Amino acid sequence: MAEISTIARPYAQAIFSLAKEKETLAIWLDVLTLMTGVIENPDIKSFIQDAKVLDSDREKTLLKIFGKDVDDMAKNFIMLLIENKRLMILPAIKLAYEKLKADYEGTVKAEIIVAAEPDKKAVDNLIKSLEKKFNKKIEGHVTIDKSIIGGTKIIVGDTVIDDSIKGKLENLAYALKA
């Protein structure tokens, strides 16, 4: 069976093309985020995955939940996913869409992990440094994780920059074993 990301990619590409053409990239990201949030709700998820539920009932229920929060194109998209039995890959479609959008806009997400709440100026300076290093616009998200003890760990795409005390101690322990 094909991987979920392989199945999701054409849907994400189609939405991205449409959104780019209509200049609604951010709006579609919001819509996909909303839709993903709804179908990941445990009650809705069990309803959607219930084999006894008819597609027409899934469609009516979801369209009623979304109501006026989504336009006709988004409603048509949901109906298409239901018809093709692809509704549960919506989270993968959203991820693929986010990547297409970020690549198009030249942005990259960075997760900045620190042990204590940093000041805004330090985070801004760090993001500027990362933008120079990666030559892209960086969307930084700060996470506080006391387990790193101190320092900073940064994840940008596949790149991990670990300047945390925990990371240094792990490296030291590994070196001592060798």
Taking the complete model, does pTM exceed 0.85, yes or no?
no
Domain count, the chain: 2
CA diameter of the chain: 63
Residue 178 CB coordination number (10 Å): 4
- Residue 78's closest CA among 51, 25, 44, 39? 39
**What pLDDT, on the 0 to 100 scale, is given for residue 2?**
67
| Domain-terminating residue out of 102, 118, 151 | 102
**Which portions of the chain are predicted below pLDDT 70?**
1-2
**What pLDDT, on the 0 to 100 scale, is given for residue 69?**
86
Q: Which domain holds residue 73?
A: 4-102
Same domain, 67 and 86: yes
**What pLDDT, on the 0 to 100 scale, is given for residue 1?**
52
Same domain, 115 and 131: yes
Rounded to the nearest 10°, the torsion over CA 155, 157, 158, 160 is -20
